[in-house]
Structure 1
Amino acid sequence: MKVGIITQPLDHNYGGILQNYALQKVLKQFNIDSITFDYLPGKQPFFRYILSCIKTCLLSFSSQKRSFYKWNTEDVYRKKIFDDFVKKNIVKTKIIRKYQSKLIVLNRLDALIVGSDQVWRPKYNYRLTDIYLKFCKGMFVKRIAYAASFGVDYWEYSSKQTQECSKLVKKFDAISVREESGIKLCKEHLGVGATWVLDPTLLLTKEDYLPICEEIPICNEKYLAAYVLNENEETTATYEKEAAARGLVIKKFHADSKSTLTVPEWLAIFRDSSYVVTDSFHGTVFSIIFGKDFKCLYNKTRGPARFDSLLKLYESSKIDEMREFSLNWLKKALEK
Structure 2
Amino acid sequence: MEKKRVGIITLHNWFNYGSMLQSYAGQKNIEALGYECELIDFRHPRVDNNRSYKLYKPSEEDAEIAKRFRGELVRRKAAFESWLPLYNLSPRLYSSEEELKGNKDYDIYATGSDQIWNVNFRMASSAYFLAFTDSHNKVALASSIGRCKWEMLGNYAQHIEKFRQVYIREQAGADYLSEHLPHMKDRIGVMLDPTLLVSREDWEAVARESSFGECSRGDYIACYATLDEEMEHMLPMLEKLHRLTGLKVALFGMMQPRFADYIENVVDVGPREWLSLIANASFVLTHSFHGTAFSLKFQRPFITYNDNLENPRKEGILKKFGLLGRIAHQANEIEEIYKTAIDFETVGKYMKVDIEESRDKLRRALDGCR
- The TM-score normalised by the length of structure 2 is 0.73
Contact 2:100/2:132 (8 A) holds in 1 = yes
Alignment of 1:196-275 (within 5 A): 196-215=190-209, 216-219=213-216, 221-230=218-227, 231-255=230-254, 260-275=268-283
Q: Quote the Cα distance in structure 1 between the aligned partners of 2:218 and 2:202.
A: 24
**1:80 to 2:88 alignment:** no
Change in CA separation of 1:232 and 1:209 when aligned onto 2, cut-off 3 Å: closer
The yes-or-no answer on 1:283 pairing with 2:283 is no
Report the identity percentage: 28
**Residue type of the partner of 2:223?**
A
Look up the equivalent residue of 1:298 and give its one-letter code.
Answer: N
Map of 2:143 onto structure 1: 148
Q: CA deviation at 1:157?
A: 3.7
CA contact (8 A) 1:166 1:189 kept: no
Question: Which one is further off, 17-26 or 171-180?
Answer: 17-26
Deviation for aligned residue 1:246:
1.3
SS of the aligned residue for 1:134 comes to coil
- Partner SS, residue 224 of structure 1: strand
Letter in 2 for 1:142: N
**CA separation of 1:157 and 1:256: change in aligned 2, threshold 3 A:** farther
Gap runs ≥5 in structure 1: 45-77
Q: Secondary structure at the match of 1:124?
A: coil
* Aligned amino acid, residue 298 of structure 2: F
Instruction: Find out whether 1:24 has 2:20 as its counterpart.
Output: no
Q: Any idea what SS the aligned residue of 2:215 has?
A: coil
Distance between the aligned counterparts of 1:109 and 1:79, measured in 2? 32
- Residues 127, 261 of structure 1: CA spacing in aligned structure 2 closer, same or farther, 3 A cutoff? closer
Distance 1:300 1:208 in 2: 35
Unaligned 5+ segments in structure 2 are 48-75, 258-266, 324-346
- Kindly indicate whether the alpha-carbon contact (under 8 Å) linking 2:136 and 2:164 is maintained by their aligned counterparts in 1: no
Query: Closer, same or farther in 2 for the Cα pair 1:146/1:95, shift >3 Å?
Result: same
**More displaced 10-residue stretch of structure 1: 18-27 or 307-316:** 307-316
Q: Tell me what 1:314 maps to.
A: 321
TM-superposed deviation, 1:217 = 2.9
The TM-score, its normalising length taken from structure 1, stands at: 0.80
- Answer yes or no: is the 8 Å Cα contact 1:115–1:146 preserved in 2: yes
The answer (yes or no) to whether the contact 1:165–1:190 under 8 Å persists in 2 is no
Are residue 331 (structure 1) and residue 366 (structure 2) matched?
no
Q: CA deviation at 1:7?
A: 1.1
What is the CA RMSD across the aligned residues, in angstroms? 2.5
The 1:171/1:292 distance shift into structure 2, 3 A limit, reads: same
What secondary structure is seen at the aligned counterpart in 1 of 2:365? Answer: helix
CA deviation vs aligned residue, 1:127-171 (integer Å, no higher than 9, x gap): 5322222211xx33410001110112x51543xx51x42121111
Equivalent residue number for residue 160 of structure 2: 169
The 1:260–1:103 alpha-carbon spacing in structure 2 relative to 1, beyond 3 Å, is farther
Which amino acid in structure 1 is aligned with residue 190 of structure 2? W
Q: Which amino acid aligns with 2:318?
A: L
- 1:179 matched to 2:170: yes
Q: Which amino acid aligns with 1:133?
A: L
Distance 1:103 1:35 in 2: 17
**Which of 94, 117, 141 is matched with 1:120 structurally?**
117
SS in 1 for 2:132: helix
8 Å CA contact 1:5, 1:115 repeated in 2: yes
**Bigger mean CA offset, 227-236 vs 263-272:** 227-236
The answer to whether the Cα contact below 8 Å between 1:12 and 1:82 also exists between their aligned partners in 2 is: yes
